[in-house]
């Protein structure tokens, strides 16, 4: 004889004796605490990541070049261990942009520069500084010209008279103690020629970049950065500012 089985006998045993209609309240003090901690940790991670990203960004600085009370040019630039990038706006309508790839000793490895005049006509210059050869390609109006000359590693460097960021880079690459000098072959990016450039560190707070037709006197910070200067031939005065 088969005995009837009660419907209640098929249910799984409940050792905790929790009623079947009991539901956990998702906002109990324990779950609220865990939720708060999770949100706090998430916000902390985001904050640290944002701070790290900001810290990695190169500092933007500018040089303001004046003659008397008139502004001649404004140069906005950034620099890190491997790159110097600059934009120069001159009041005569010329706009110059360049990027220089740097070696570990602060000397230049490659330059890409463009210049645009008031009427919109543009020109480009690309210069590569190899171990024994400097190669420059100048382009304008759909035509290009290639120029090469022999130069030992660490003997040639780009130069642009209106760029005090580049003048500062030349000083960095020279690695001069006080009272010492160094001679470079300057590849003049605007003139498209070369000239002998002598860099002299007269004092801890001053230096001179000199060519036959140009002299730049530079005022230096304790870190060796250019904080001001004067273009002697043009009677330009320059002041450095840090941008936010």
- Residue-wise pLDDT tens digits, 13-27: 444 444 455 444 555
Q: How confident is the model at residue 29 (pLDDT cuts 50, 70, 90)?
A: low
d(CA 205, CA 229): 11
Q: Which domain holds residue 124?
A: 60-242
Residue 114 maps to a domain: yes
Average pLDDT over residues 101-130: 93
What CA–CA distance (Å, rounded) separates 94 from 14?
85
Looking at residue 56, its pLDDT comes to 62
**Same-domain status, 53 and 67:** no
Of 41-50, 169-178, 182-191, the range with the lowest mean pLDDT is 41-50
Residues 125 and 154 in one domain: yes
Mean pLDDT, all residues of the chain: 84
Q: Are residues 51 and 69 in the same domain?
A: no
Residue 17 lies in a domain: no
Q: Higher model confidence: residue 23 or residue 238?
A: 238
Contact 217, 230 (CB under 8 A): yes
Has residue 162 been placed in a domain? yes
Chain centroid to CA 168: 14
Q: Are residues 51 and 158 in the same domain?
A: no
The answer to whether residues 50 and 162 belong to one domain is no
More confident residue, 43 or 84: 84
Question: Per the domain annotation, does 160 fall within a domain?
Answer: yes
Domain-embedded: residue 11: no
In contact, 119 and 210? CB cutoff 8 Å: no
H/E run at residue 223? none
Answer yes or no: is 129 within a domain: yes
Q: Are residues 35 and 113 in the same domain?
A: no
Q: How far apart are CA 207 and CA 72, in angstroms?
A: 22
Question: Looking at 93-107, 146-160, 171-185, which range is the least confident one?
Answer: 146-160
Task: Looking at the structure, tell me whether residues 38 and 69 fall in a common domain.
Answer: no
Render pLDDT for 108-122 as a digit per residue (tens, 0 to 9): 999 999 999 887 778
Identify the pLDDT of residue 91: 95
**50 and 71 together in one domain:** no
Rounded Cα–Cα distance for residues 229 and 91 (Å):
19
Higher-pLDDT residue of 35 and 110 is 110
pLDDT-derived band at 36, boundaries 50, 70, 90: low
| 13 within some domain | no
Nearest residue to 234 (alpha-carbon basis) of 207, 213, 211: 213
- Tell me how many domains the chain contains: 2
122 and 199 fall within a common domain: yes
pLDDT at 5: 40
My answer on whether 46 and 144 are in the same domain is no
Position 2 in a domain: no
**Same domain assignment for residues 67 and 181:** yes
The predicted structure's pLDDT at residue 117: 86
pLDDT digits (tens, 9 = 90+) for 39-83: 655 555 455 444 444 446 788 999 999 999 999 999 999 999 999
| Lowest-confidence region among 39-48, 53-62, 185-194, 226-235 | 39-48
Both 80 and 173 in one domain: the answer is: yes
């Amino acid at each position: 004889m088969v005995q009837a089985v009660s419907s209640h006998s098929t249910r799984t045993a409940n050792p905790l004796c929790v009623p079947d209609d009991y539901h956990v309240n998702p906002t109990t003090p324990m779950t609220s605490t865990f939720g708060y901690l999770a949100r706090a940790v998430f916000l902390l991670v985001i904050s640290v990541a944002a701070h790290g990203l900001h810290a990695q960004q190169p500092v933007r600085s500018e040089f303001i070049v004046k003659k008397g009370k008139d502004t001649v040019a404004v140069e906005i630039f950034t620099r890190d261990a491997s790159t110097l990038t600059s934009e120069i706006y001159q009041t005569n309508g010329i706009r110059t942009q360049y990027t220089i790839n740097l070696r570990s000793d602060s000397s230049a490895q490659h330059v890409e520069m463009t210049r645009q005049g008031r009427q919109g006509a543009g020109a480009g210059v690309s210069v590569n500084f190899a171990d024994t050869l400097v190669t420059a390609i100048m382009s304008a109006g759909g035509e290009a010209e290639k120029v090469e000359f022999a130069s030992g590693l660490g003997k040639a460097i780009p130069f642009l008279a209106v760029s005090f960021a580049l003048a500062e880079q030349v000083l960095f690459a020279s690695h001069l103690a006080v009272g010492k000098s160094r001679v470079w072959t300057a590849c003049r990016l605007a003139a498209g020629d070369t000239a002998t450039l002598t860099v002299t560190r007269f004092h801890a707070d001053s230096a001179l970049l000199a060519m036959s037709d140009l002299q730049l006197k530079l005022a230096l910070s304790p870190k060796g950065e250019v904080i001001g200067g004067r273009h002697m031939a043009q009677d330009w005065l320059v002041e450095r500012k840090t941008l936010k």
